[in-house]
């Protein structure tokens, strides 16, 4: 292990032998936790990228004991089949892993322009990296998101693809007012340096939503957000994630995150907490009608319940409720 000079919470497990860090134009950060086989599939999709851009991959192992992902990926880097490095983020948690990887990119790759993010349960299309970078440049966008298309382990679950938990927020490429997820994301280097570490608030470490909060704060600072509909990643969805209790828990969590992010956004303004709470109550009152409209439109009870669960989650957040789904990853 090669420890970083001033931070024993992060270490480098290994790197590709002919890595020229100054020549790298784009970085792909890939956090992983107990998914070695899926990690290898994600890396295979990144190896197959159709682009002339010089890019490197940073695998961020967040399981500091067994390190199954790091052990699986490291031979690919050491043989030079993949360009980049494998690192260990010793502090557990979603936000801790992202923060460590993004800081590593800034410290070790001085000239990259774009940082991209993909998760270890996702597969990138061959044009993914090129299209994300090109969209950022064409739109003049500082941050670009892309769709995460669900691939259900059981094909019979494909009907869930249009549920709000899985459906992308936008359908067309262009500038957008908000982004919500880092599962398929591009961030310009200057955004990271302007926002500064820690990039993601550790309050969201086991709940999720640190990415949504980061994106909200970046938009507040005036950074331009964009969407690339032509750069999807395919997200593997296990059968567990279409069970009613998981969908309900994720919907409630989305409501909690919505309240927490909005409170941070309004912080320092008059009656901020009161305004957020009143908005939550209004959404709760309207949610049965919104649900009925969804039911009439889709015929899906699960889809109809989504705005109700989100509204309930928003209100519960006012009383300290926090659904930390990542605290028990085996149930996520």
All domains in the chain, ordered by first residue: 2-240 (3.90.550.10), 244-331 (no CATH)
What is the average pLDDT value for the chain, to the nearest integer? Answer: 94
Residue 91: predicted pLDDT? 94
pLDDT of 4 strictly over 50: no
Residue 330: predicted pLDDT? 60
Mean pLDDT of the 318-322 span: 89
User: Cβ distance 63 to 89 under 8 Å?
Assistant: no
- Give the whole-angstrom CA distance, residue 130 versus residue 55: 10
Residue 5: predicted pLDDT? 40
Give the list of residues 6+ apart from residue 198 with CB closer than 8 angstroms, or none: 95, 99
- Give the whole-angstrom CA distance, residue 134 versus residue 229: 12
Residue 324: predicted pLDDT? 78
Residue 153: predicted pLDDT? 87
pTM, 2 dp: 0.93
Chain mean position to CA 10: 20
- Is residue 47 very low, low, confident or very high in pLDDT (cuts 50, 70, 90)? very high
- Predicted confidence (pLDDT) per residue in 170-217, tens digit: 999 999 999 999 999 999 999 999 999 999 999 999 998 999 999 999
Give the list of residues 6+ apart from residue 262 with CB closer than 8 angstroms, or none: 276, 279
- Is residue 329 very low, low, confident or very high in pLDDT (cuts 50, 70, 90)? low
Q: Please compute, for residue 162, the number of CA atoms within 13 A of its CA located in the half-sphere on the CB side.
A: 10
E strand map for the chain: 2-4, 7-15, 26-32, 55-61, 84-89, 114-118, 122-124, 143-145, 148-152, 174-175, 184-188, 225-227, 233-237
Q: Which two tokens stand for residue 217?
A: 């704060």
Residue 290: predicted pLDDT? 95
pLDDT of 2 strictly over 60: no
Segment (H or E) for 44: helix 36-47
User: Picking from 1-15, 57-71, 118-132, 178-192, which range would have the lowest pLDDT averaged per residue?
Assistant: 1-15
Mean pLDDT of the 292-298 span: 94
Residue 323: predicted pLDDT? 74
Give the list of residues 6+ apart from residue 56 with CB closer than 8 angstroms, or none: 16, 19, 21, 24, 26, 27, 28, 83, 84, 85, 109, 112
Identify the sign of the CA torsion 202, 86, 225, 315: negative
pLDDT of 155 strictly over 90: no
Residue 294: predicted pLDDT? 94
Segment (H or E) for 290: helix 272-298
Residue 321: predicted pLDDT? 86
C-alpha dist (Å) from residue 272 to 100, 253, 262, 263: 32, 21, 9, 7
Mean pLDDT of the 106-110 span: 96
């Amino acid at each position: 292990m090669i420890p970083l000079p001033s931070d024993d919470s992060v270490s480098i497990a290994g790197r590709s032998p002919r890595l020229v860090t100054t020549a790298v134009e784009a970085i792909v950060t890939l956090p992983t936790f107990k998914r070695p086989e899926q990690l290898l599939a994600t890396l295979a999709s990144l190896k197959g990228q159709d682009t002339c851009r010089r890019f490197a991959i940073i695998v961020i192992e967040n399981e500091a004991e067994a390190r199954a992902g790091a052990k699986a990926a490291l031979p690919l880097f050491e043989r030079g089949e993949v360009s980049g490095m494998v690192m260990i983020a010793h502090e557990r948690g979603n936000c801790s892993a992202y923060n460590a990887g993004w800081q590593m990119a800034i410290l070790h790759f001085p000239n990259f322009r774009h940082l991209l993010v993909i998760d270890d349960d996702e597969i990138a299309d061959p044009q993914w990296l090129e299209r994300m970078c090109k969209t950022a440049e064409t739109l003049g966008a500082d941050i670009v998101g892309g769709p995460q298309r669900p691939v259900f382990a059981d094909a019979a679950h494909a009907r869930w693809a249009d549920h709000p938990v899985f459906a992308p927020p936008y359908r067309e490429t262009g500038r957008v007012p908000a982004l919500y997820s880092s599962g398929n994301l591009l961030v310009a280097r200057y955004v990271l340096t302007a926002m500064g570490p820690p990039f993601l608030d550790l309050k969201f470490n086991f709940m999720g939503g640190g990415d949504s909060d980061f994106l909200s704060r970046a938009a507040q600072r005036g950074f331009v957000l964009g969407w690339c509909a032509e750069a999807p990643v395919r997200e593997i969805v296990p059968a567990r994630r279409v069970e009613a209790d998981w969908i309900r828990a994720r919907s409630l969590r989305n409501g909690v995150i919505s309240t927490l992010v909005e409170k941070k956004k309004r912080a320092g303004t008059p009656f901020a907490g009161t305004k957020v709470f009143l908005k939550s109550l209004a959404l709760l009152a309207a949610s049965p009608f919104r649900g009925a409209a969804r039911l009439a439109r889709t015929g899906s009870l699960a889809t109809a319940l989504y705005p109700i669960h989100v509204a309930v989650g928003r209100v519960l957040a006012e009383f300290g409720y926090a659904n930390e789904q990542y605290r028990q990853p085996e149930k996520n």
